[in-house]
Structure 1
Amino acid sequence: MNLTIIKSIRANNFKDRAIIQKIANMWEEASSILKNHNEVTYGLYYDYESDYKGDYTLSVAIESSDNESPIKIPETSKYKIFEVDTLDEYGILNTWKEIWEREEKRDLERAYSFDFEKYYPNGQIEIHIAIK
């Protein structure tokens, strides 16, 4: 899969006190570019410093047919897919908490390559976690 980056930030879920505002600002800035985009949009997590407690890069991205796209996700990557409850205001955050808890219990062995939230035009959201 080839992705074109719209906007990116460097973040940390536990050390960055303004994390929610940083993410909201990034999506707001990207939405002005995406306003006429009616296809799947991605929240792409990559360039991990360590595990989920370390720094990472988060980007808003769209699929691209351009082979020169800055991000190429290997077709051979394996993913565990988590469905987000979109009726829950905190559905995305709660799904990430579930992912982190499963990792802590050693019920999920993450690869820390490319993870992504996949936002469908119909409102459905999935979180794809790269696994070993």
Structure 2
Amino acid sequence: MKVETINELKLVYGLTIRTKNENEMNQETAKIGNLWGSFYSEVAPLLNKEELVYGIYSSYESDHSGEFNVTAASEKKVDGTEAVAIEAGKYLVFTAQGEMPQAVIQVWTDIWNYFSDEDSEFKRLYKTDFELYDGPNSVKVYIGIQ
């Protein structure tokens, strides 16, 4: 992991749901899987193969226990998508490679473990976090930090 600074706000376009972690642990109330299913069936076919795909976490109600928005997005605006901002700021970047979605699940486990440690060097902002899928088997997760 490393610290990166994003100097300018960036707009991406996608489909959004509102959820919370507690709901995502239960198959009956989980929404993120269906969000990605809709993105790949409705939006992805309209994108170029080189188009980067993002998962944006924003509008946090509080911390990891509150509600937040999740947006499956790309840099290209297509019909039916809405703009979401990736905020400028400091991010701690975690990377993973391997078969999806297992690789992204593993990197989020690493993130939870890191920020659960009270001695962690960095503290989460709970403002904007995002996943950048920069290859078919590669993801970088940017966690906003103080």
4+ runs deviating over 4 angstroms: none
Give the total of aligned pairs: 127
- Confirm or deny: 8 A CA contact 1:12 1:54 kept in the other structure: yes
Aligned to 2:73: 61
Quick one: structure 1 residues 91 and 55, their matched pair in 2 at CA, closer, same or farther if it must change by over 3 Å? same
TM-score between both structures, scaled by the size of structure 2: 0.74
Given residue 83 of structure 2, which amino acid in structure 1 is its aligned partner?
A: P
Give the alignment partner of residue 114 of structure 2, picking from 102, 105, 112: 102
Hey, which of these two has a bigger chunk of strand by percent? 2
- Confirm or deny: 8 A CA contact 1:43 1:118 kept in the other structure: yes
Quick one: structure 1 residues 94 and 10, their matched pair in 2 at CA, closer, same or farther if it must change by over 3 Å? same
Looking at structure 1, the residues matched to 132 and 38 of structure 2 have their Cα atoms a distance apart, in angstroms, of 18
Aligned to 1:31: 40
Pairing 1:44-123 to 2, within 5 Å after superposition: 44-63=56-75, 70-75=83-88, 77-87=89-99, 90-106=102-118, 107=120, 108-123=122-137
Deviation, 1:90, is 2.1
Structure 1 unmatched runs, 5+: none
TM-score between both structures, scaled by the size of structure 1: 0.81
- Confirm or deny: 8 A CA contact 2:60 2:126 kept in the other structure: yes
Looking at structure 1, the residues matched to 101 and 111 of structure 2 have their Cα atoms a distance apart, in angstroms, of 18
Deviation, 1:123, is 3.2
Looking at structure 2, the residues matched to 14 and 20 of structure 1 have their Cα atoms a distance apart, in angstroms, of 9
Given residue 124 of structure 2, which amino acid in structure 1 is its aligned partner?
A: R
- Confirm or deny: 8 A CA contact 1:11 1:19 kept in the other structure: no
Looking at structure 2, the residues matched to 21 and 15 of structure 1 have their Cα atoms a distance apart, in angstroms, of 5
Taking only the aligned residue pairs, the percentage that are identical comes to 27
Residue 130 (structure 1) aligned with residue 144 (structure 2): yes
Looking at structure 2, the residues matched to 100 and 80 of structure 1 have their Cα atoms a distance apart, in angstroms, of 13
> Helix, strand or coil for the counterpart of 2:22?
coil
Looking at structure 2, the residues matched to 109 and 57 of structure 1 have their Cα atoms a distance apart, in angstroms, of 20
> Helix, strand or coil for the counterpart of 1:2?
strand
Given residue 98 of structure 2, which amino acid in structure 1 is its aligned partner?
A: T
> Helix, strand or coil for the counterpart of 1:35?
helix
